[in-house]
Amino acid sequence: MNQPYIVCTPNATTLPPAARPAGIDFDAIKLRQQGTWTSGDYAVVGTTLQIVGESLAEAVDLRAGERVLDVAAGNGNASLAAARRHARVVSTDYVPQLLEKGAARATAEGLDIEFQVADAEALPFEDASFDVALSTFGAMFTPEHGRTAREFLRVVRSGGRIGMANWTPDGYIGQLFRVVGSYVPPPPGLQSPALWGSEPHVVELFGPHAAHIACERRIFNFRYRSAAHWLEVFRNYYGPLLKAYAALDSKGQAQLTTDITALLERSNVGGANSLVVPSEYLEIVITRA
């Protein structure tokens, strides 16, 4: 069941400089992350999430002619959703191969979208140059949450909207992160990407510079033939899981498979002959102050 909206009415409008915590080599972390998302073929998984992009486009009330930026767009789910609503869309990611997949989808549908390689933590656009900025399960994986939030706020005009879809800490994907992290721990000091699916974290990041914040918990259903089928797809095509398996010996791989299978089977609501795993995410709409 969806949770009530959370409303925040802050008053500060000046963006502070983005502070970088000491003792963490964020540049090296980002290079590794970029390699992770380049591995496999995230588009195989990403296309199944298209409904989330459509829902987010409706949540931010996209209007024809608005200038829209899709941040960490992957293969373009939110980009396509915005272009279908006749917005002027720029689709960005720091993995060129994913943008190529998005461009192929846009061409197939006859949609006019601009694709540009860009880092979510250092967007190459002028201040207040977009009416709307979107991200579906993309910007949440950046290593420096504060820098990413600041870039969203910087490029969106006053009165514009920021829309995000982020996996929650306690949903299926949040639980999967914890399982995988118990075998392949993240770099020390790095904030969990699942924090982006926590209402207090969103308010902390955006609250002082927002006129309004609305958060609603929603469900995306992973639909596969079986737990083994889900694992086959994600192990081969989803970069973070592909890399996790590659970092383990055969015994560790077998144990990880056992633990993920158990999580899938506990979460399955599809019965004995199919896999339907509800995964909670936070749908966020921020109105820029």
Distance CA(114)–CA(90), nearest Å, equals 5
- Does residue 16 lie within any of the structural domains? no
pLDDT in tens, 172-218: 999 999 999 999 999 888 999 999 999 999 999 999 999 999 999 99
Backbone angles phi and psi of 162, in degrees to 5: -115, 125
Distance CA(141)–CA(178), nearest Å, equals 15
- Does residue 133 lie within any of the structural domains? yes
pLDDT in tens, 47-97: 999 999 999 999 999 999 999 999 999 999 999 999 999 999 999 999 999
Contacts of 190 (CB under 8 A, 6+ apart): 24, 29, 143
Contacts of 157 (CB under 8 A, 6+ apart): 128, 129, 130, 131, 288
Neighbours of 100 (CB within 10 A): 13
Position 5 pLDDT exceeds 90: no
pLDDT in tens, 210-261: 999 999 999 999 999 999 999 999 999 999 999 999 999 999 999 999 999 9
Position 23 pLDDT exceeds 90: no
- Does residue 98 lie within any of the structural domains? yes
* pLDDT confidence bin for 135, thresholds 50/70/90: very high
pLDDT in tens, 165-175: 999 999 999 99
Is the torsion defined by CA of 209, 210, 216, 219 positive or negative?
A: negative
Place of tokens 């003792």: 23
166: domain CATH number? 3.40.50.150
pLDDT in tens, 257-282: 999 999 999 999 999 999 999 999 99
- Does residue 34 lie within any of the structural domains? yes
Question: Which pair of tokens denotes residue 5?
Answer: 């909206």
- Does residue 228 lie within any of the structural domains? no
Q: What is the pLDDT of residue 16?
A: 59
Distance CA(218)–CA(282), nearest Å, equals 6
Coil, strand or helix: which one is 279? strand
pLDDT more than 70, % of the chain: 92
> Structural domain of residue 204, as residue ranges?
26-223+279-288
| Residues 158 and 288: beta-carbon distance below 8 Å | yes
When divided into structural domains, the chain yields a total of 1
Q: What is the pLDDT of residue 189?
A: 85
Q: What is the pLDDT of residue 17?
A: 57
- Does residue 241 lie within any of the structural domains? no
* Average pLDDT across the chain, whole number: 94
Angle, vertex CA 140, rays to CA 223 and CA 143, nearest 5: 135
- Does residue 156 lie within any of the structural domains? yes
Q: Are strands 130-136 and 156-167 parallel, antiparallel or unpaired?
A: parallel
- Does residue 45 lie within any of the structural domains? yes
DSSP string of 99-133, one letter each residue: HHHHHHHHHHHT--EEEEE-BTTB--S-TT-EEEE
